[in-house]
Structure 1
Amino acid sequence: MLFITPTDYKNYHKFATNSERKISNEGIKRFSKIILPKNSILVTCIGSDMGKVVMNNTEAITNQQINSIIPNPLKANNDFLYYSMVGIYPTLRLFGGDGTAVPILNKGDFENLTIALPPLKTQEKIAQILSSFDDKIVLLHKQNKTLESIAQTLFRHHFIENAKEDWEEKVITDLFEVKDGTHDSPKQKEFGKKLITSKHILKNKLDFDNAYFISKEDFEKINKRSKVEQGDILFSMIGTIGLTYLEQSNTINYAIKNIGLFKTSQNKKFMYFVYLWLNSTFGIKFIHENRGGSTQEYVTLNNLRSIVFNIPDDENFNLFNQQVKPMFDKIYHNSQQIQNLESLRDIILKKIFE
């Protein structure tokens, strides 16, 4: 059975489909009274991610950092209630920002929240409209996952299963530069350019919503050291290490902090190869062998600069790129479509619930 904590939310869209930790059969018996039925509404109630909302699509148990709602089917539609909670996110954050260092929404305040409940038929119609957006978004995410899995299979075929002993070894810095973001902490501003850190690297996207603004001066200063360009790869070096993001956009309005930057834009022949290498068994082994830290794991810039590749002949390499490029183009197109659908859904949400 799923044991859901706020840490799991980074992997969710609308539904909690999995969790890093599970409850054993013995635990299920012990905590049977707090098992949440399918389609409960789960709201994080502490920390920087406070106010995030998901539904569980199977029975689950959560830790104490999550407040849960079990809808009464005679009064509330599950999906409508989910979107209602998503729609009052600013209110949830307001309740949690009572001057404490760590935002927290206590159970008493949560239980006293009020939402407007139209007749059930109206709830169902509203939920159906909003769910149609999320259904399409989930479908596109699944398609991206499949495309990347196929690309990873092709990577293994070309560079692992059919590797040759006479391939040339190359240190990564012989192919392009490897840098990292600023180590400073620029002051937060009300507007400006976004500062991206490791925690903002998600699957096929960057979490701009939870990143803060910095001044134009700080933005330009950071970019003198580590400017991100189309075709570069970002790599999380601190905390949850090994998260990757391939920047395929030609409009880049952010700076980076404590993030590894593979400048594959300088040698785009290696763009897909390096991205897939980092997400392959090679990359997993590299992280395992080079990570340091106890309370917070990290890899160093020197570690990243020490990576060695076995490089095949140009014919094999070019064939690989021809095969995977359409997949990455489609992933990027899907990701753009996801962003557009999310924006349109959020506009409708605001009109309904604000």
Structure 2
Amino acid sequence: MNSFTTRKIGTLGRVVTGKTPSTANDDYFGGPYPFITIPDLDGRVVIDSSARTLSQTGAGAIKSSLLPAGSVMMSCIATVGKCGITARTSFTNQQINSVIPNEDVDAQFLYYAFREIGHVLERSGGGGSVYTNVSKSRFSDIELLVPPLPEQRAIAATLGALDDKIELNRKMNATLEAMARALFRDWFVDFGPTRAKMEARAPYLSPDLWSLFPNRLDAEGKPEGWEVRSVYDFANVVYGAPFASKQFNTDSAGIPLIRIRDLATHEPGVWTEEVHPKGHLIEPGDIVVGMDGEFRLHVWKGAPAWLNQRVCHFEPRPGVPTAFLAEALIEPLAFFERGKVGTTVIHLGKGDIDTFRLLHPGTELLSAFGEIARSLIDATVKNATESRTLAQTRDLLLPRLMSGELRVADINSEEAEHA
């Protein structure tokens, strides 16, 4: 702890508050420069892509807020404490303050320091606190404990190793999910094997699989013998219960609760000790869908949790693989959402789900697809579970390392003793 000094953020580098170029000028957008907003600060340490980008013209319009690679960002308006490091020349909007670090400051160390103070600011942001919005001057005056550069790098390397594995798992999951989606699309959307048979092309699947596909399409354009059936031939739909919000807590007391806002992160934000008579427990690998706003389907990868109201679970019927049902539901949900464009608030109800129709290829093909895809989906759940454990370890180490209570040398010594 003796080597740590107290320094204001403004002394650690140049502080930059982002800007937004005029949205009335289409020429400013779409180009090589990431334009980072709060949703892009999604848990990645290094932000190498963003939903929106700027053109050369747009970058020139706000050149004073240019951030080189290695700049450290933190959201400071409305949502406080989301952080990231720029991967290349980038820009942010005005809700984000950034630091271009001095030579004696390690960017990754500063990222973790921002994460720790972000938690503090976020907690103090409730109840009308001034920290709900952190201005550039207030941000610059925040004090941090900063060790010498070698210790900064050691801390960053220790925490970074955990985040590197989490990011690797995220990329692996994206690849595995893309593989399952590509297989589903070829078999059940594009009808690749059937079309190949019609065109007398060589088989590209094993003989036992190839024989399961029809030889031609019917008058409706689907493989002969395949049927369009009600969604209820594929799944039971279970709706979440109206748990009392007054009994919610953030102290991990009871069982976590899945709300719509938790679906994207697979991390429940509240717990409850209430045992609702209509409570339904979701397990890792279950299909869950939010029923308000955007109807994105998620294969739940978080811990077991109660299902809150306005979230539903599509529970596969016997013989229907989870991976098949998850892929098959994407288009009906998207079709319903497209039909609601222009509505102020869009809701998905039971009456809407009643209209869903899915293509049934027969039990043998369902089983064959399930055999292949099950291992892919199971691996994504396993990777997500490992990442959750790694994140918990990181979050336990973070405040202790940043305060100097725990030194990297102590961790290494403990690991050596248990080797």
SS in 1 for 2:50: coil
Q: Establish whether residue 213 from structure 1 lines up as the match of residue 244 from structure 2.
A: no
Q: 2:299 aligns with which of 223, 234, 246?
A: 246
Corresponding residue for 1:140?
169
In 1: Cα distance, 2:240 partner to 2:271 partner: 16
CA deviations on 1:130-177 (whole Å, 9 max, x unpaired) are: 111111111111111111111111101221222514211211123332
In 2: Cα distance, 1:248 partner to 1:30 partner: 42
* Distance verdict in 2 for CA 1:66–1:222, change over 3 Å: farther
| Residues 263, 300 of structure 2: 8 Å contact kept | no
| Residues 180, 301 of structure 1: 8 Å contact kept | no
In 2: Cα distance, 1:184 partner to 1:333 partner: 29
| Residues 3, 63 of structure 1: 8 Å contact kept | yes
Q: 1:335 aligns with which of 353, 364, 384?
A: 384
CA deviations on 1:279-322 (whole Å, 9 max, x unpaired) are: 4xx35642444435644444333222321011012221111111
CA deviations on 1:180-212 (whole Å, 9 max, x unpaired) are: 32467622433333332222112xx5122xx22
In 2: Cα distance, 1:288 partner to 1:179 partner: 20
SS in 2 for 1:115: strand
- Count of residues in correspondence between the two structures: 338
Q: 2:83 aligns with which of 48, 53, 72?
A: 53
Q: 2:373 aligns with which of 324, 328, 353?
A: 324
| Residues 171, 309 of structure 1: 8 Å contact kept | yes
Residue 26 (structure 1) shift: 1.6
Corresponding residue for 2:258?
196
Compare the two structures and name the one with the higher strand fraction: 2
Q: 2:228 aligns with which of 169, 182, 186?
A: 169
Q: Establish whether residue 309 from structure 1 lines up as the match of residue 358 from structure 2.
A: yes
CA deviations on 1:64-123 (whole Å, 9 max, x unpaired) are: 1112121112x2000010111112233222453352599322333211111111111111
* Distance verdict in 2 for CA 1:230–1:145, change over 3 Å: closer
Specify every segment of 5 or more residues in structure 2 that has no aligned partner in the other structure, as ranges: 1-32, 192-221, 404-419
In 1: Cα distance, 2:301 partner to 2:163 partner: 24
Residue 54 (structure 1) shift: 1.2
Q: Please tell me whether Structure 1 or Structure 2 has the larger radius of gyration of its CA atoms.
A: 2
Q: 2:75 aligns with which of 15, 19, 44?
A: 44
SS in 1 for 2:145: coil
**Identity fraction in percent:** 27
Corresponding residue for 1:2?
34
Residue 248 (structure 1) shift: 6.7
In 1: Cα distance, 2:45 partner to 2:121 partner: 18
Q: Establish whether residue 267 from structure 1 lines up as the match of residue 327 from structure 2.
A: no
* Distance verdict in 2 for CA 1:345–1:248, change over 3 Å: closer
Map of 1:56-95 to 2, 5 A cutoff? 56-73=86-103, 75-95=104-124
In 1: Cα distance, 2:41 partner to 2:289 partner: 20
Compare the two structures and name the one with the higher helix fraction: 1
| Residues 285, 378 of structure 2: 8 Å contact kept | no
In 2: Cα distance, 1:248 partner to 1:206 partner: 6
In 1: Cα distance, 2:284 partner to 2:158 partner: 36
CA deviations on 1:313-348 (whole Å, 9 max, x unpaired) are: 222111111111111111111111111111112222
In 2: Cα distance, 1:184 partner to 1:302 partner: 23
In 2: Cα distance, 1:259 partner to 1:242 partner: 10
* Distance verdict in 2 for CA 1:127–1:342, change over 3 Å: same
In 2: Cα distance, 1:105 partner to 1:98 partner: 15
In 1: Cα distance, 2:168 partner to 2:91 partner: 26
In the alignment, residue 275 of structure 1 is paired with which amino acid?
A
* Distance verdict in 2 for CA 1:278–1:17, change over 3 Å: farther
In 2: Cα distance, 1:101 partner to 1:181 partner: 36
Q: 1:32 aligns with which of 63, 68, 75?
A: 63
Q: 2:125 aligns with which of 96, 105, 110?
A: 96
* TM-score normalised by the chain length of structure 2: 0.74
